[in-house]
Structure 1
Amino acid sequence: MNAVVIAVFIMLILSLLRVNVVIALVLGALAGGLTGGLSLGETVSVFTDGLGGNATIAVSYALLGAFAAALTKTGLPDAMVEASVKLVGKEGDTRRKTLSKVLIIFVILIVSCFSQNVVPIHIAFIPVMIPPLLKIFNELQVDRRLVACVITFGLTAPYILLPVGFGQIFQGILRDNMKDSGLSVSMNDIPYAMIIPVAGMVVGLILSIFVYRKPRTYETKAIAGEKPAPYTKKSLAIALLAIAVSLAVQLYLSQSLNVDGMIFGALSGLAVLLVSGVMKRGEADELITNGMNMMAFIGFVMLAAAGFAAVLNKTGDVKSLVEASTSMIHHSQTIGALLMLIVGLLITMGIGSSFATIPIITTIFVPLCLQLGFSPMATIAIIGTAAALGDAGSPASDSTLGPTSGLNADGQHHHIWDTCVPTFIYYNIPLIVFGWIAAAVL
């Protein structure tokens, strides 16, 4: 059996059985390493050495959580809740509640989409925006699985389709790796090639709204570290200034200097709150610790995912999985496209990053697509979709970890069953179907 298949299968089964995702990743990596011919000592060593691969991301998310917690001292979350309560209206006003529910979901969708392209901050908005709204979700009886699907759509579909922000990075990696593998394509062609696969995600989003539209009851609980904070116009202005400074620093570092600016963006926002006096020095430690705890889950999963990926790469079975699938094609475009998409799904589900999947699959998929007679546009659609597959449903992807971190702030949203399973059903399955269609018609 292929080590990648074994490792991903074990990780997913354990996760579905409600075993902690970090433990599932560790045990999956152990099984994959041993299956792939590595000794126990070598597997443990490679896993440990690989943990540093996502260290920057882990620290970034921890500091974002700290910044979000510090913002509570400005009263911004309380102001958001009060504004939402006024929007919802009196208890029993069914029509107004329905309209409010639609409006809030629509705003979350827009903000999520903007976080990839217009203001590329990725999941940084989640710890600031989502936890304060949980009480409103409870009042409106919003099914949080719907919110998870909406956020995940916004975190993935825009970068797959639009060559701006994270989309420019994703499509640039796709173009460069395809060129290195023997097929030169234009950046202008990639969005057109990805229209059909992204249309599949739109269909999935509509289906998720239809399925999860029914009311779901949650218990209103206090959020860890949450304390009511009075607010004034001045405190709200400082909160908005801190957010603006944080975004400006992050965008400058990422866009102008081409480095990850999330850490220093969060630090600059914290500095504004500290210097302004909104966050007192004596309470800074407690606030920052509470905020880091909120995002610590993401950090540990991302670290474990880096070790998991390191073990799979060391076995060499990632390449052999791709090569083995080619021997099953028998010069059939239909079978070939489907197998390439499934292989992409397996790899991305394990690694948790579509960006990291592209270099792995492109070296084999490009020659194979050329051999099978696929057009350049069809080849882009196959490889782009194969890389993106799994990102929306992987337990180790920040596209699922981000929504969970916000929606589970009060401990009532399960990462696997309430985020990963719904997003897998409504995005990964349509991506396979529509990616297969794109390969046939382009």
Structure 2
Amino acid sequence: MEGTVINWMGAIAGLILAVVLIFKKVNPVYALFLGAIAGGILGGASIAETVQYVIDGTNSVMGAVVRVLAAGVLAGVLIESGAAERMAETIVDKLGEKKALLSIALATMIITAVGVFITVAIIIVAPIALSVGKKIGISKTALLLALVGGGKAGNIISPNPNTIAVAKGFDVDLAQVMIHGFIPAIAGLIVTVIIANLLVNKGVKIAEGDVVTKEEDSTKVKPSFGRAIVAPVVAILLLAINPIGNILNIELLKSFKVDSMIILPLAGIIGLIAMKQTKNIISFTTSGLNKMTGTAIILIGAGAIAGIISKSDLSATVVDAITAMGISGTFLAPIAGILMAAATASTSTASIVAAGSFGPAILSMGTAPLNAAIMVHTGATVIDHLPHGNFFHVTADSVKMNIKDRMSLIPYESLVGLTMAIVATILYGFIL
């Protein structure tokens, strides 16, 4: 039985309720569940139908949840071993003070791209950024934009929860999403560095108490750079085998179809062996699991609200509006990502909700699943940093910035995300 088609206004009302509850500091998972239930009932579905739609929605994200939890092994190894920090320090040291903003943005991009969650990557690089910024007179505003912009660029080419979510949502290979996001990511990095350089003398200045001294930062024994990069290199190489095989039409490589659920933990364990840290396997992997658990649970909440929206006529209404305005249907993919990111203030949650709710409509416009995934994904980075999300507050805390000053950075962050979305849309909506 098909069930009741939920009125789009009811679905939107539920989504708005979820956002309001998140603003009121209600746990995001419960806020999303309550919003989903309210949206279903307000949209005309019975309580029984609403519950079933919520369950169907949560079931649809289970594959992504499992992969996110598995990715916790690699994340835990990189963070707890000090490998991620060593990579960041090496990149900043090698590029030097003259290219400080580029080095900070690039370091955050790479740390995020190799599988560290974006907020954690920013927390790791932030003390290094503050130390360099204080020494050569760069404002906090410029530094935080470099951190955030670099993180956003790395996030669309990473095996992180958002990329896993959008790949699963459109049923495409994770590695393909990562590889095809590379050009938009580079565009985002370039725009980040340009804007950050314009802000060097603007905004908040760094105070003495903001900088971590060498003595405070010398407690952790970090691996060498060579050992630190083993885990991410193994992960990237294994993930790239099948896509490279498809590009070069090599049957042996094409037949290598190992899921990221296996590859990411395996790379983490190989990295542990390379760093001679196997004795810490339990503590590192437990830490990684703990870091991913919150995201995995939020994805379940996102699945619930996606279940309601996907059973509504919202996507059809948006399609009708786009058609009436004479806009190409190709723009539905990035628009869906942008709208859901604005609602959820989370790239991962937006990717799940946009793919689940608008996926069929996007594909019906003739957009290939992989192209759709990339455009939705980059669209989700445009305004995923709004104050009702965790990202906004964690990044402010990372450089000890107050809410008012943090708010002033939002337009610049949006420009970075918008650049990546525009480049992705041109490439995968009109050229390729």
TM over 0.5: yes
Q: Is 2:149 aligned against 1:149?
A: yes
2:338, 2:73 → 1: CA distance?
Answer: 34
With over 3 angstroms needed to count, the CA separation of the structure-2 counterparts of 1:136 and 1:147, relative to structure 1, is same
Report whether the alignment pairs 1:6 with 2:13: yes
User: Are 1:76 and 1:231, in contact at CA under 8 Å, matched by a contact in 2?
Assistant: yes
User: Quick one: percent identity of the two aligned structures?
Assistant: 17
Task: Report which structure shows greater RCO (CA 8 Å, sep ≥6).
Answer: 1
Compared with structure 1, are the counterparts of its residues 280 and 32 closer, same or farther at alpha carbon in structure 2 (3 Å cutoff)?
same
For 1:127 and 1:261, locate their aligned partners in 2 and report how far apart those are by CA, in whole Å.
Answer: 25
CA distance in 1, matches of 2:145, 2:196: 9
Paired AA for residue 57 in structure 1: A
Aligned to 1:66: 73
2:314 is the alignment partner of 1:318: yes
Match of 2:300, SS state, is helix
How many angstroms does 1:335 deviate by?
A: 11
Q: Give 1:215 shift.
A: 4.5
Q: Is the 8 A contact 1:48 1:307 kept in 2?
A: yes
CA contact (8 A) 2:18 2:32 kept: yes
Shift of 1:309: 0.8
| Structure 1 residues 35-50: aligned runs within 5 Å | 35-50=42-57
Shift in alpha-carbon separation, 1:205–1:155, aligned structure 2, 3 A: farther
Give the aligned partner of residue 326 of structure 2: 333
Give me the whole-angstrom Cα distance separating, in 1, the residues matched to 2:51 and 2:350: 20
- Return the index of the structure with the highest Cα Rg: 1
**Which residue in the other structure is 1:162 paired with?**
none
Tell me whether 1:32 sits opposite 2:39 in the alignment.
yes
Which of these residues, 249, 267, 270, is aligned with residue 268 of structure 2? 270
Residue 244 of structure 1 and its aligned partner are, at CA, apart by 2.8
Q: Which amino acid aligns with 2:326?
A: Q
Structure 2 unaligned regions, length at least 5 = 1-7, 134-139, 172-179, 245-253, 344-348
Residue 309 (1) aligns with residue 337 (2)? no
Task: After superposing the two structures, state which structure 1 stretch, 388-397 or 264-273, moved more.
Answer: 388-397
Quote the residue 2:125 is aligned against.
133
Equivalent-residue separation in structure 1 for 2:54 and 2:124 (angstroms): 37
Pairwise CA distance, 1:303: 2.0
Deviation at 1:144, TM superposition (A): 3.0
Is 1:249 equivalent to 2:238 in the alignment? yes
In structure 2, relative to structure 1, the CA distance for the partners of 1:27 and 1:216 (3 Å cut) is farther
Q: Give a deviation string over 1:35-85, Cα, whole Å, max 9, x none.
A: 221233432343234223233333333343332333456553454465478
Do the aligned partners of residues 411 and 103 (structure 1) sit closer, same or farther apart at CA in structure 2, a change above 3 Å counting? closer
Counterpart secondary structure, 1:352 = helix
For the 8 Å contact 2:88–2:111, the answer to whether it is kept is no
Distance in 1 between the 2:238 and 2:426 partners?
42
- Conserved in 1, the CA contact under 8 Å of 2:71 and 2:264? yes
Q: For residue 37 of structure 1, give the secondary structure of its aligned residue in structure 2.
A: coil
Pairs aligned (count): 369
Whole-angstrom distance in 1 between the partners of 2:188 and 2:262: 37
Amino acid in the other structure paired with 2:361: I
Aligned-partner SS, 1:246: helix
Paired residues of 1:78 and 1:132 also in contact (CA < 8 A): yes
TM-score by length of 1: 0.60
Q: Who is 2:5 aligned against?
A: none
- Paired residue for 2:28? 21
Q: AA paired with 1:269?
A: A
Indicate the residue corresponding to 2:415 in structure 1.
Answer: 426
Q: Give 3-state SS (helix, strand or coil) of 1:333's partner.
A: coil
Mapped partners of 1:39, 1:48: distance in 2: 14
Given the superposition, is the C-alpha separation of residues 360 and 413 from structure 1 closer, same or farther in structure 2, using an over 3 Å criterion?
farther
Which residue matches 1:188? none
TM-score for the superposition, normalised by structure 2: 0.61
CA distance in 1, matches of 2:193, 2:89: 29
> Do the aligned partners of 1:404 and 1:413 also contact (CA within 8 Å) in 2?
no
Partner Cα separation in structure 1 for residue 75 and residue 424 of structure 2: 38
Distance 2:87 2:110 in 1: 17
Kept in 2, the 8 Å contact 1:246–1:266? The answer is: yes
Q: CA deviation at 1:136?
A: 0.6
Rounded to whole Å, the distance in 2 between the matches of 1:231 and 1:338 is 46
Q: Is the 8 A contact 1:127 1:406 kept in 2?
A: yes
Matched, 1:53 2:54: no
Q: One-letter code of the match for 2:314?
A: V
Q: In the superposition, relative to structure 1, how do residues 275 and 49 fare at CA in structure 2: closer, same or farther (>3 Å)? A: same
Distance 1:7 1:433, change over 3 A: farther
What amino acid maps onto 2:62 in structure 1? A
Match of 2:281 in 1: 284
RMSD: 5.6
Structure 1 residues 180-233: Cα deviation after superposition (integer angstroms, max 9, x where no partner): xxxxxxxxxxx9xxx99x9899778855764586446585689xxx99443565
Matching residue of 2:101? 101
User: Contact conserved, 1:25 with 1:304, CA < 8 A, in 2?
Assistant: yes
Q: Distance in 2 between matches of 1:424 and 1:389?
A: 13
* Change over 3 Å in CA distance of 1:410–1:432 after alignment to 2: closer
Distance 1:278 1:418, change over 3 A: farther
